[in-house]
């Protein structure tokens, strides 16, 4: 076992049984499960700044999303993060309602600027979070334009598609009403929602403050939440223009996937951009 990890385990009072066993799903970081004298833990190995951001995100979510399960951070030092292990199980009746109610609680506390006091990462992509008072400016300057330029520079966007994305970003104030910033998970695709005996759980956050549609649009992009989820989240009163809101906030994760995984995501990006029609 790595000496630094042994030291961290000793510092937090855990005695390991055996060696860490690799877990599937660690596309960005190396992820392990380890049995200890106080139960199983999950260990991540990654760049220290990325792990510090994740540790902070998990701690903040545990405090804010009290209706949802969030793994407890047990310790983080250098390139190692140790956290509570969750035991996934089959989705139970009522779990999607509980997820909707839990996210509604998370997003209810709003205020302050859009952004966060530190940068973090969405997958392998650095995520700039320098705060801005106007959320439309934040979406433009911290999300859409940086990734549009990065994808164009790598030859993943042609001039026409880049121009369409830039025009959309520059015109947000003309149609999107600004609103207070909520705490968001920031990378809430379906793989970052687990179902446990204690209820739905959130893992691998990339937190910041922004519009709550960030989390909802990510859930629908790579999954299909049920009508019961939306009924619970919106409490029966969803926005009339949800399809357009959904499309807007799917652009950033699609640009990120285009940047990370290549041209296979360009068609989905262009189709989503085409859904943003204006009166």
pLDDT at 123: 86
In angstroms, how far is the first alpha carbon of the chain from the final one? 61
pLDDT at 18: 87
Task: Decide if 187 is catalytic.
Answer: yes
CB of 35 closer than 8 Å to CB of 16? yes
State how far the alpha carbon of 95 is from the alpha carbons of 39, 91, 107, 247, in Å.
25, 6, 18, 26
Partner residues linked to 88 by β-bridges: 196
The Cα 68–Cα 262 span in angstroms is 34
The Cα 214–Cα 219 span in angstroms is 9
Burial of residue 241, with CB atoms counted within 10 A of its CB: 0-12 exposed, 13-18 middle, 19 or more buried:
exposed
CB of 75 closer than 8 Å to CB of 54? no
Does 278 score more than 60 pLDDT?
no
The Cα 223–Cα 61 span in angstroms is 22
Q: What is the CATH number of domain 3-84?
A: 3.30.200.20
User: For the segment 158-189, what is each residue's pLDDT rounded down to a tens digit?
Assistant: 999 999 999 999 999 999 999 999 999 999 99
Orientation angle between helical segments 159-170 and 266-274, nearest 10 degrees:
40
Cβ partners under 8 Å of residue 260, min gap 6: 123, 124, 125
User: For the segment 30-85, what is each residue's pLDDT rounded down to a tens digit?
Assistant: 999 999 999 999 999 999 999 999 999 999 999 999 999 999 999 999 999 999 99
User: For the segment 233-260, what is each residue's pLDDT rounded down to a tens digit?
Assistant: 998 788 888 999 999 999 999 999 999 9
Tokens 């839990």 locate to 102
Determine which one of 46, 187, 204, 215 is catalytic.
187
State how far the alpha carbon of 56 is from the alpha carbons of 143, 144, 213, 226, in Å.
21, 25, 22, 30
Domain ranges of the chain: 3-84, 95-274
pTM of the model: 0.94
CB of 236 closer than 8 Å to CB of 205? no
Quickly count: other Cβ atoms within 10 Å of residue 123's Cβ.
17
Burial of residue 25, with CB atoms counted within 10 A of its CB: 0-12 exposed, 13-18 middle, 19 or more buried:
exposed
pLDDT at 279: 45
95-274 homologous superfamily: Aminoglycoside phosphotransferase (APH), C-terminal lobe (3.90.1200.10)
The Cα 276–Cα 106 span in angstroms is 27
Does 25 score more than 70 pLDDT?
no
The H helix count followed by the E strand count for the chain is 10, 11
């Amino acid at each position: 076992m790595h000496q630094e990890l042994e030291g961290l385990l000793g510092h937090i009072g855990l005695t390991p049984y055996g060696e860490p066993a690799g877990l599937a799903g660690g596309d960005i970081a190396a992820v392990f499960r380890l049995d200890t004298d106080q139960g199983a833990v999950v260990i991540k190995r990654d760049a220290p700044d990325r792990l510090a951001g994740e540790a902070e995100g998990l701690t903040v979510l545990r405090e804010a999303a009290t209706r949802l399960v969030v793994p407890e951070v047990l310790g983080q030092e250098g390139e190692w993060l140790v956290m509570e292990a969750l035991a996934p199980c089959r989705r139970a009746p009522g779990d999607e309602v509980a997820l909707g109610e839990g996210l509604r609680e998370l997003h209810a506390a709003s205020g302050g600027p859009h952004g966060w006091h530190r940068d973090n990462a969405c997958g392998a992509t650095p995520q700039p979070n320098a705060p801005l008072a106007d959320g439309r400016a934040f979406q433009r300057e911290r999300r859409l334009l940086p990734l549009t330029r990065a994808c164009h520079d790598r030859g993943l966007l042609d001039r026409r598609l880049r121009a369409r994305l830039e025009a959309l970003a520059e015109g947000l104030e003309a149609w999107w009403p600004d609103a207070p910033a909520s705490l968001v998970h920031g990378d809430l695709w379906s793989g970052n929602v687990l179902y446990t005996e204690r209820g739905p759980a959130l893992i691998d956050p990339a937190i910041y403050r922004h519009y709550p549609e960030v989390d909802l649009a990510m859930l629908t992009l790579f999954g299909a939440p049920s009508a019961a989820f939306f009924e619970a989240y919106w409490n029966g009163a969803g926005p009339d223009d949800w399809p357009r809101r959904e499309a807007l906030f799917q652009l950033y994760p699609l640009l990120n996937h285009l940047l990370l995984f290549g041209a296979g995501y360009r068609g989905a990006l262009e189709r989503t951009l085409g859904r943003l029609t204006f009166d």
